[in-house]
């Protein structure tokens, strides 16, 4: 991975109030628990923890594969944002389904009540 070493990886620290961009990967150092922020291009690479000096493997974000890193950055960003959008849509869909389920349960409850009432009034 000679290429990786030449790649410039800006390393920020969220704890210091450094701005975290949408494309940054945020994760905790497995040794000292320090919150590390790294550019998405650092995914799958080893970095040195700024606090304890441990070698830390940068996790690959959900929805991103290591092979994606061979694509040009624009393509990766598109995929990343598409994944996030899909996730948000799925969340909204779950909420909508929960709402309809609650309505159905309410209607079912009202129906059972009406049936029970009808039976006892006979
Ligand atoms: Zn550390």
**Model pTM score:** 0.40
Which residues, at least 6 apart from 32, have a Cβ–Cβ distance to it below 8 Å?
Answer: 49, 51, 52, 54
> Ligand 1 mean position to 59 CA, how many Å?
14
Q: What was the pLDDT predicted at 16? A: 56
Regions of the chain short of the pLDDT cut 50:
1-5, 7, 9, 12-14
How many angstroms is it from 26 CA to the middle of ligand 1? 13
Q: Which residues partner with 12 through β-bridges?
A: 37
DSSP string, 22-36: TTEEEEE-TTT--EE
Quote the pLDDT of residue 49.
94
| pLDDT of the residue at 13 | 44
Distance 7 CA to ligand 1 centre (A): 22
- 3-state DSSP call for residue 44? coil
Pair 73, 82: CB distance under 8 Å: no
Distance from the alpha carbon of residue 39 to the mean position of ligand 1, in angstroms: 17
């Amino acid at each position: 991975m000679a290429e990786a070493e030449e790649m410039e990886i800006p390393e920020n620290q969220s704890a210091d109030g450094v701005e975290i961009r949408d494309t940054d990967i945020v994760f905790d150092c497995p040794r000292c628990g320090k919150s590390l922020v790294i550019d998405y291009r650092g995914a799958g690479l080893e970095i040195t923890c700024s606090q304890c000096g441990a070698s830390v493997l940068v996790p690959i974000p959900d929805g991103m594969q290591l092979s994606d890193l061979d694509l040009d950055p624009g393509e990766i960003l598109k995929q990343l944002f598409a994944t996030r959008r899909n996730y948000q849509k799925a969340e909204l869909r779950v909420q909508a389904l929960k709402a309809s389920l609650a309505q159905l349960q309410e209607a079912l409850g009202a129906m059972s009540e009406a049936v029970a009432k009808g039976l006892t009034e006979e």
